[in-house]
Amino acid sequence: MSWYKQFDLVWVPVVDFERAKSFYKDDLELELILEDQDSSWAEFQISPGAKMAIHAVKATNANPIGALVLDVENIEKAELWLRGKGIKLSDKEEIPGLVKLASFSDPDGNVIQLSQSLVE
């Protein structure tokens, strides 16, 4: 028996709640499943059993300590889709035979990393 029940969500701090909500909902097209304007909190469904949330804070740390990682089928196709939204990937890397990685940031500098498995 585990000391915890299940994974719930990961949340990231944002300074401009409406701008961040629009980025995740409109630009990345994540499903907004809960919003509480009073507490400046919004949750998005990533996949079954996986959610991410944003929460407004007065300031964010300029050096993020983690990243939201999204698994993609094809990193090049994902990059083209993101480019169409005006989002540019950086830190592209390939670990031969293992994984392709690339990153971008939300408007507050929170890192979002794409991961394409190369393992067959």
pLDDT tens for 75-107 read 999 999 999 999 999 989 999 999 999 999 999
- Token pair of 56 as six digits: 């407004």
pTM: 0.81
Q: For 47-79, how does the pLDDT look when each residue is reduced to its tens digit (9 = 90+)? A: 998 999 999 988 766 566 668 889 999 999 999
Q: Say how far apart CA 35 and CA 52 lie, in whole Å.
A: 12
Q: Does domain 9-117 have CATH number 3.10.180.10?
A: yes
CA distances (Å), origin 104, targets 3, 8, 78, 112: 34, 24, 12, 5
Eight-class DSSP state of 43:
E
Contacts of residue 87, Cβ cutoff 8 Å, sequence gap at least 6: 27, 104
